[in-house]
Amino acid sequence: MKITSAKVFVGGPGKNYVTLKIETDQGIHGLGDATINGRETLTAAYLQDYTVPNLIGKDPRNSEDIWQFFYRGAYFRRGPLAMTVFAAVDMALWDIKAKIAGLPLYQLFGGKSREGALVYAHATGSDLEDLMDSISYYVEQGYKAVRVQCGVPGMPSASYGVSEGKGQNRNYITDFSGIIPKEEIWDTDLYMRYMPGALAEIRDRFGPDLKILHDVHHRLLPREAAEFAKAVEPVRLYWLEDPTPADDQDALRLLRQHSTVPIAIGEVFNSIWDCNKLIENELIDFIRVAVSHVGGITHARRIVDLAAMHHVRTGFHGAPSHSPICMAAQAHLNVWAPNFGIQEYLVLGTPECDALFPSEHYLKDGLFHVSDAPGLGIDFDEKEAARYSYKPGSLPVARLEDGTLWNY
Ligand code: KDG
Ligand code: MG
């Protein structure tokens, strides 16, 4: 069996999805996702200029050897762009492998450990009351877990994860007005004074059963993160996400010494070498890597297995940084992984998105159910794709009030 062609598409409804389609001499094709927010043309160029020519003629069934060929062959290891490119190839090869077997992908991992995978939605509000409305909306839809972010009174501009204005399917992450990012102002002191009380009010309003998650988006220093984690302990969060920039992994020791709040980290990681110490030292409770940013299924499975040895559960990234192809790959891992925790899920299912990526995967009562179609169980409509093209967009950056650049 040989790979005969590989095509790269950039675009999508309200997003710059980077889609790889690998075709074979047996008429079977596989799909991969190389989307990376704000840098989409770069993974597309890496695929087109280097990866595609090197795929032609290879046997797609040798996914491990192909992964090693690209990873070791690059000489310069890791990095988000390269690992996202390798991920797209790897997803497409697993898609082909499972289609050859005539099985849904999860069967190649060891079958189902659960029927549906718990997901969490993003509730957001410009203020706490707006956020409460947003949470109610998701609870009414049957979600059992919700990430909550709201504006902080007095904060000079809207901050990370906070949407201004009403509406439930708000894309507040990428700004498509151009490649020059918007700059936001962040004030740690205001956040630290306001947010623990706001989270406590949410717990009071929604009762003990709702799983409440909160994302700090790397904004606190280690000591501040320890203080914040202690302050929110009575809320019984499902997790506190990215309390510090996780480049400094030892920083989490301080937080761990002061609090038992579950910690989730990893959406910016791109290899096992970014998180092996965090996992082995049991400094986190959830690993947040995304299959599409961490070298694909082959590499993600190594992380999941390492995590399982250390009581760390999965909480794969699922922001609109990933196309439904990555979400499908994660859905197969989620129904299999013995140490599955939760899946981030931002409603992708607009009619335009479903037309571009048809599938039988579905969400019901806050659980994601995976399709039993062979492979990833998702397709890509090239005719629909012709309607879209690349739109320049960017993620915001954050500064302190005195102009110091801060963590987004
Ligand atoms: O590309 C950046 C987004 O994926 C990020 O801002 C989303 O923090 C995020 C999350 O938890 O989904
Ligand atoms: Mg996050």
Q: Determine contact, residues 328/377, Cβ cutoff 8 Å.
A: yes
User: How many CB atoms lie under 10 A from the CB of residue 184?
Assistant: 18
117 vs 321: which has the higher pLDDT? 117
Residue 244 Cα, ligand 2 centroid: separation in angstroms?
11
Which runs of E-coded beta strand occur in 151-210? 183-186
pLDDT band with cut points at 50, 70 and 90 for residue 166: low
pLDDT, residue 321, reads: 82
Least confident of 151-165, 260-274, 385-399: 151-165
User: How many CB atoms lie under 10 A from the CB of residue 116?
Assistant: 18
Tokens of 21: 């389609």
Tokens of 258: 């002061």
pLDDT above 90: percentage of residues in the chain? 89
In whole angstroms, give the CA distance from residue 261 to residue 238.
Answer: 8
Q: Determine contact, residues 356/317, Cβ cutoff 8 Å.
A: no
Q: How many CA atoms lie within 13 A of 309 on its CB side?
A: 11
Share in percent of the chain as helix, strand, coil (round to 5) = 40, 20, 45
pLDDT in tens, 198-210: 999 999 999 999 9
In whole angstroms, give the CA distance from residue 154 to residue 92.
Answer: 47
Q: Which CATH number fits domain 3-104: 3.30.390.10, 2.40.128.110, 3.40.50.720, 3.40.50.1110?
A: 3.30.390.10
**Alpha-helical runs (H) found in 207-289:** 222-231, 252-258, 276-280
pLDDT higher than threshold 80 for residue 24: yes
**Token match 């559960």: residue?**
313
pLDDT band with cut points at 50, 70 and 90 for residue 162: confident
- Catalytic residue check, 332: no
Least confident of 33-37, 248-252, 277-281: 248-252
Atom of ligand 1 nearest to the CA of 344: 12
Q: Determine contact, residues 279/258, Cβ cutoff 8 Å.
A: no
Please report which helix (H) or strand (E) contains residue 87, including its range.
Answer: helix 80-101
Q: What is the mean pLDDT of the chain?
A: 95
Residue 408 Cα, ligand 2 centroid: separation in angstroms?
10
CB of residue 344 inside a 6 A radius of ligand 1: yes
Q: Which of 292, 250, 284, 251 is closest to 268 using CA atoms?
A: 292
Tokens of 180: 């020059």
In whole angstroms, give the CA distance from residue 56 to residue 24.
Answer: 9
pLDDT, residue 220, reads: 97
**Token match 């909306």: residue?**
137
Q: What's the gap between Cα 383 and its chain centre?
A: 27
Q: Determine contact, residues 137/364, Cβ cutoff 8 Å.
A: no
In whole angstroms, give the CA distance from residue 347 to residue 119.
Answer: 11
In whole angstroms, give the CA distance from residue 23 to residue 21.
Answer: 6
pLDDT higher than threshold 60 for residue 351: yes
Q: Determine contact, residues 230/258, Cβ cutoff 8 Å.
A: yes
In whole angstroms, give the CA distance from residue 73 to residue 234.
Answer: 50
In whole angstroms, give the CA distance from residue 227 to residue 35.
Answer: 36
169-192 mean pLDDT = 85
- DSSP string computed for 325-393: HHHHHHHHHHHH-TTB--EE------HHHHHHS-B--EEETTEEE---SSBTSB---HHHHTT------
Crossing angle of helices 297-309/324-336, nearest 10°?
Answer: 40
pLDDT, residue 250, reads: 87
Ligand 2 (single-atom ion) residues, CB below 5 Å: 215, 267
pLDDT higher than threshold 80 for residue 348: no
Residue 84 Cα, ligand 1 centroid: separation in angstroms?
16
175 vs 272: which has the higher pLDDT? 272
pLDDT, residue 191, reads: 97
pLDDT in tens, 354-395: 999 999 999 999 999 999 999 999 999 999 999 999 999 998
Do you know the residue count of the chain?
408
Same-fold call for 3-104 versus 108-373: no
Tokens of 87: 């991920």
117-138 mean pLDDT = 95
pLDDT band with cut points at 50, 70 and 90 for residue 57: very high
pLDDT higher than threshold 80 for residue 173: no
88-117 mean pLDDT = 98
408 vs 229: which has the higher pLDDT? 229
pLDDT band with cut points at 50, 70 and 90 for residue 165: low
- Which one of 33, 81, 84, 173 would you pick to mutate in the ligand 1 pocket, going by the greatest count of ligand atoms within 8 A of its CB? 173
Q: Which of 76-85, 149-158, 349-358 has the highest mean pLDDT?
A: 76-85
The alpha carbon torsion through 101, 103, 109, 113 (nearest 10 deg) reads: -160
pLDDT, residue 251, reads: 86
- Catalytic residue check, 217: yes
pLDDT higher than threshold 60 for residue 302: yes
Three-state DSSP state, 300: helix
For residue 296, what are the contacts with CB-CB under 8 A and spacing of at least 6? 32, 67, 86, 87, 88, 89, 90, 91, 94, 329
Architecture of the domain whose range is 108-373: Alpha-Beta Barrel (3.20)
Tokens of 333: 């891992």
Domain residue ranges in the chain: 3-104, 108-373
pLDDT, residue 170, reads: 54
Which runs of E-coded beta strand occur in 151-262? 183-186, 211-215, 239-241
pLDDT band with cut points at 50, 70 and 90 for residue 171: low
pLDDT, residue 174, reads: 81
pLDDT, residue 168, reads: 53
